């Protein structure tokens, strides 16, 4: 996560949600390292450090780098207003809201490649600037510059990891919910949201009807409107998903190692590997056979976690992922988790071997120190998170996505609200922002008291 350091803009919100029980560990001065073939580029925390480092790599591009950083700032300032507009009531949204959306189109309606090609023609610089595109799941030719700017801006002051692991984000938030009279249910699959006379009546969970007046759905716009609601509800809310696709999916190798991160000299930073500087072409060429040869994202959760060695002494973990197309696995979609075909297991094994090759070239010291391996596919994402195409980040972050009028917390059905990454943007931060916007539509003017309590 970005922006959760002591002064970070999301820190107060996390402190509020978790009663200050969630702690964050900085990933250090360098939060991302990009490899393009054998060439290495470090992303330094802090805008001025970031700028300085880029200028060292690209001394002939100093002006372009300044223009780029200015543009990121401008786009994000306007982006914040664009997202805030999502809580406007229809009448304000049609007038002032229209103006806000129109102004943001300068960024949101253009692809990252279109915007960046106006700043520089240096292919290597373009590749380095776009190397974090895996964070929003779309290459420069297809992604909206608005998504690029938001995600790059999010990490500009550095990366942070929740102490105790990513599960602590949920665990510590659940503690607060329980303390305040809430209740959280897991393995409780909602089959249907029941609507009568244009009003929410309740939900059905595995055949059991639970009456309620209000439903806030974060299961994604596609799930909400194609799985949980009828076609008439979809029509009522003017949901038209034909111009926007699910984001791409992924394959991931999870490794457990027999020595500590320190003993193996593993870094805290993430690694983005591309085999050449043309990111769009690289992604177009990816197949099931060559994915890790072309692209890999590698992270070291145990190295980032202060508590890991206390709880799991003399071990380390690595996650290494690449692009994975749902279509490659579609023929196995009707089999169940851990009971799939032998051929499916073989595919996973092949991926494991080719990803290990990639890892051994970058981190040869892990060879001979592997304890456990496991591979996830887009079917795993579907199994665990219920994204129908195993998509990694909900709806894809194209220019079209930013023009969809129904990606707002309030719907035309009374009592039905939407939240989560689809309403704003990918990431824990995007989902939190959606949550805030949705809460504001419920609390209305009472939100001032909430902000006061949060010290905002
Ligand atoms: C491999 C991977 C790595 C990532 N790394 C990062 C990162 O480092 N930093 C970052 O900020 N973001 C990261 N993200 C993105 C981040 O996880 C998402 O953007 C964020 O979790 C979205 O939150 P959400 O609430 O919108 O949806 P989700 O977190 O997907 O929550 C939706 C929940 O609804 C449940 N659900 C679905 N259907 C039903 C149903 N019918 N009934 C009941 N429950 C249902 C799902 O099981 C799921 O738990 C990563 C994502 C992936 C896949």
What is the whole-number distance in angstroms between the Cα of residue 431 and the centre of ligand 1?
Answer: 9
Closest protein CA for atom 8 of ligand 1: 1
Indicate whether 326 pLDDT > 90: yes
Ligand 1 atom closest to the Cα of residue 392 is: 53
Ligand 1 atom closest to the Cα of residue 422 is: 26
What is the whole-number distance in angstroms between the Cα of residue 388 and the centre of ligand 1?
Answer: 13
For the segment 139-143, the average pLDDT, to the nearest whole number, is 98
Ligand 1 atom closest to the Cα of residue 252 is: 1
For the segment 316-328, the average pLDDT, to the nearest whole number, is 97
Strand partners, 190: 205
Closest protein CA for atom 36 of ligand 1: 219
Closest protein CA for atom 47 of ligand 1: 385
What is the whole-number distance in angstroms between the Cα of residue 32 and the centre of ligand 1?
Answer: 22
What is the whole-number distance in angstroms between the Cα of residue 385 and the centre of ligand 1?
Answer: 7
Closest protein CA for atom 21 of ligand 1: 428
Ligand 1 atom closest to the Cα of residue 205 is: 42
Indicate whether 454 pLDDT > 90: no
Lookup: tokens for 138 = 């779309």
Band the pLDDT of 453: cuts 50, 70, 90: confident
Strands of 284-435 (E only): list them: 295-299, 316-324, 370-376, 416-418
With a 6 Å cutoff on the Cβ, whether 427 touches ligand 1 is yes
Give the tens place of pLDDT for each residue, 241-259.
999 999 999 999 999 999 9
Ligand 1 atom closest to the Cα of residue 429 is: 11
Helix axes 145-155, 62-84, angle to 10 degrees: 100
Q: Please give the domain boundaries of the chain with CATH numbers for all domains.
A: 46-156 (no CATH), 186-244+393-454 (3.50.50.60), 248-385 (no CATH)
Ligand 1 atom closest to the Cα of residue 387 is: 37
Indicate whether 452 pLDDT > 70: yes
Listed residue (247, 226, 163, 298) closest to 421, CA to CA: 247
From 202, 299, 384, 431, mutation site for ligand 1 pocket: most ligand atoms within 8 A of C-beta: 431
What is the whole-number distance in angstroms between the Cα of residue 433 and the centre of ligand 1?
Answer: 14
What is the whole-number distance in angstroms between the Cα of residue 43 and the centre of ligand 1?
Answer: 26
Indicate whether 344 pLDDT > 90: yes
Write down the mean pLDDT value for the chain.
Answer: 96
For residue 448, what pLDDT is reported?
83
φ, ψ for residue 35, nearest 5 deg: -110, 130
Asked if residue 66 lies in contact with residue 81, where contact means CB atoms within 8 angstroms, the answer is no
Closest protein CA for atom 53 of ligand 1: 392
With a 6 Å cutoff on the Cβ, whether 392 touches ligand 1 is yes
| Global pTM exceeds 0.85 | yes
Give the tens place of pLDDT for each residue, 375-426.
999 999 999 999 999 999 999 999 999 999 999 999 999 999 999 999 999 9
What is the whole-number distance in angstroms between the Cα of residue 426 and the centre of ligand 1?
Answer: 9
With a 6 Å cutoff on the Cβ, whether 420 touches ligand 1 is yes
Length of the chain: 456
- Contacts of 415-418 spanning 24+ positions with Cβ under 8 A: 415/199, 415/200, 415/212, 415/213, 415/214, 415/215, 416/193, 416/195, 416/200, 416/214, 416/215, 416/217, 417/214, 417/215, 417/216, 417/217, 417/441, 417/442, 418/216, 418/217, 418/218, 418/221, 418/224
Band the pLDDT of 456: cuts 50, 70, 90: low
Counting Cβ atoms within 10 Å, is residue 439 exposed (0-12), middle (13-18) or buried (19+)? Answer: middle
What is the whole-number distance in angstroms between the Cα of residue 288 and the centre of ligand 1?
Answer: 24
What is the whole-number distance in angstroms between the Cα of residue 386 and the centre of ligand 1?
Answer: 9
Closest protein CA for atom 33 of ligand 1: 219
Band the pLDDT of 234: cuts 50, 70, 90: very high
What is the whole-number distance in angstroms between the Cα of residue 428 and the centre of ligand 1?
Answer: 8
């Amino acid at each position: 996560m970005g922006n959760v350091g002591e002064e970070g803009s999301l820190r107060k919100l996390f402190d509020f949600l978790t009663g200050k029980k969630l702690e964050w560990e900085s990933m250090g001065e360098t939060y991302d390292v990009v490899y393009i073939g054998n060439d290495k580029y470090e992303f330094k925390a802090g805008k001025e450090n970031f700028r300085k480092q880029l200028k060292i790599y690209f001394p002939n591009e100093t002006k372009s780098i300044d223009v780029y950083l200015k543009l990121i700032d401008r786009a994000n300032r306007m982006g914040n207003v664009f997202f805030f507009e999502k809580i406007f009531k229809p009448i304000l949204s049609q007038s002032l809201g229209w103006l806000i959306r129109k102004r943001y189109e300068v960024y949101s309606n253009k692809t990252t490649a279109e915007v960046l090609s106006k700043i520089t023609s240096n292919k290597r610089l373009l590749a380095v600037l776009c190397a974090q595109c895996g964070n929003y799941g779309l290459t420069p030719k297809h992604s909206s510059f608005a998504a690029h700017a938001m995600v790059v801006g999010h990490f500009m002051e550095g990366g942070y990891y929740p102490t105790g692991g990513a599960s602590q984000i949920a665990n510590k938030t659940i503690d607060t919910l329980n303390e305040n009279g809430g209740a959280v249910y897991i393995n409780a699959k909602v089959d249907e949201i029941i609507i009568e006379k244009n009003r929410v009546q309740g939900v059905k969970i595995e055949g059991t009807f639970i009456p309620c007046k209000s439903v806030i759905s974060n299961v994604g716009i596609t799930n909400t409107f194609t799985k949980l609601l009828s076609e008439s509800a979809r029509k009522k809310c003017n949901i038209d998903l034909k111009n926007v696709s699910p984001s791409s999916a992924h394959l991931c190798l999870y490794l457990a190692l027999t020595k500590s991160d320190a003993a193996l000299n593993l870094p805290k930073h993430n690694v983005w590997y591309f085999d050449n500087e043309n990111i769009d072409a690289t992604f177009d060429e990816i197949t099931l056979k060559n994915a890790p040869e072309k692209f890999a994202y590698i992270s070291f959760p145990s190295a980032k976690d202060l508590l890991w060695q206390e709880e799991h002494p003399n071990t380390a973990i690595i996650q290494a992922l690449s692009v994975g197309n749902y279509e490659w696995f579609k023929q196995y979609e009707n089999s169940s988790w851990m009971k799939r075909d032998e051929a499916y297991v073989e595919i996973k094994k092949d991926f494991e071997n080719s990803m290990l090759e990639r890892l051994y070239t970058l981190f040869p010291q892990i060879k001979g120190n592997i304890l456990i391996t496991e591979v996830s596919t887009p079917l795993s994402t579907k199994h665990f998170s219920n994204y129908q195409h195993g998509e990694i980040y909900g709806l894809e972050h194209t220019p079209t996505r930013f023009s969809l009028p129904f990606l707002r917390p309030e719907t035309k059905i009374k009592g039905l609200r939407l939240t989560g990454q689809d309403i704003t943007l990918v990431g824990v931060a995007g989902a939190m922002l959606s949550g805030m916007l949705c809460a504001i539509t419920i609390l209305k003017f009472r939100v001032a008291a909430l902000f006061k309590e949060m010290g905002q």
